[in-house]
Amino acid sequence: MSDAVASADVVLAAQKIAAGEVIGLPTETVYGLAADAQNPQAVARIFALKHRPTSHPLITHIAAGADVHYWLDEARMTADMTDIMNALIDAFWPGPLTLVLPKSPAINDVVTGGQHTIALRCPDHALAQSVLRVLSQLHNTPHVGIAAPSANRFGRVSPTHAQHVREEFNDQVWVLDGDASVIGIESTIIDLTRGTPVLLRHGHITPDDIFDVTGLQPLPNDAHAPRASGTLLAHYAPATPVVWSSSADSVLADAGCLCFSNEFDATPFKQVIQLENQPKGYARGLYHALRELDRAAHAQIVVEDLPADSAWDAVRDRLKRAIVGSNEGK
């Protein structure tokens, strides 16, 4: 794609968002279903397209260097909260880290699922950042945000390619093609509203990464935490039932397999996809592999058990939820 065409597509993407439309937007994590975060009617269209419960909050994406305080309730921001926020922004933005903070009363409640917190992220993707800059020009304000949950039906496998979004929504959604997502799973979500980090969702940035920057080990998610994207028990699920290899009593005649090690015996399977034997490479290919195996309409998808090492926690989290979601009602 030439620079001229890419530039024209970016402008068109921003124009569509400014006009209240919902589009497919590439990011480094996964493709998002994107709308103007400050247009409640446009945000409501995201919920409708995804069949997503309106109480399930969205992440608002902002430009590099944007004034994060515009989105926040300064009266509820403590000094500790501000210091930790600034340290994490300096270390990881732009990047796959979402921060949950007290929401400004001026921000609509639709994008936050009715909560008094807001989830903010600065994407590390050139096209997403370009769309944010053009949207700022169109609105004539630096204070713009794009709400963009993963561009798939609620609870299903997230998209990492433009074609995944087109397959999911057909002609309902125009898609800005930004090639494959380089990380491949959703952002880490950290809640800062208690003045100490709380891990709401695993991702590319690990709890150890957070500790290295803040000196604080993130607390685990609990009943007091705000609702957050991707934290339901059933999520990221293909239509085909998924099982761990250790839980498969016997391999069905028409089964697909997702593995990573050369030692795993994949001979009984009709289709085998082998991902990288390290967690970040595995994550990059995970959703595309699940979609490929699901498209083949196997009777079952058997997943090689992952190493117990905490470096695999993010992909383990996605697969555990996919297993629950894919087996519901079966």
Structural domain spans, the chain? 3-220, 242-327
CB-based contact 88:80 (threshold 8 Å):
no
pLDDT attached to residue 156: 97
Report CA-CA distances (Å) from 217 to 9, 57, 79, 101, 210: 42, 25, 19, 18, 7
For the chain, the straight-line distance linking the first and the last C-alpha, in angstroms and rounded, comes to 44
Structure tokens at 212: 């290295």
pLDDT attached to residue 252: 83
Residue with tokens 């270390």: 91
pLDDT tens track for 288-309? 999 999 999 999 999 999 999 9
The Cα 168–Cα 152 span in angstroms is 6
3-220 homologous superfamily: DHBP synthase (3.90.870.10)
The Cα 186–Cα 208 span in angstroms is 18
pLDDT tens track for 8-37? 999 999 999 999 999 999 999 999 999 999
- Segment 229-234 shows an average pLDDT of 94
Beta strand 146-147 pairing with 32-36: antiparallel
Strand ordering across the sheet containing 117-121: 174-175, 23-25, 32-36, 146-147, 59-61, 117-121, 97-102, 188-191, 198-201, 219-220
pLDDT category of residue 5 using cuts at 50, 70 and 90: very low
CB-based contact 71:145 (threshold 8 Å):
yes
- Segment 194-220 shows an average pLDDT of 97
pLDDT attached to residue 101: 98
> C-alpha angle 179/306/270, rounded to 5°?
70
Is pLDDT at 154 greater than 70 in this prediction? Answer: yes
Would you call 23 helix, strand, or coil by DSSP?
strand
pLDDT attached to residue 177: 96
Is pLDDT at 199 greater than 90 in this prediction? Answer: yes
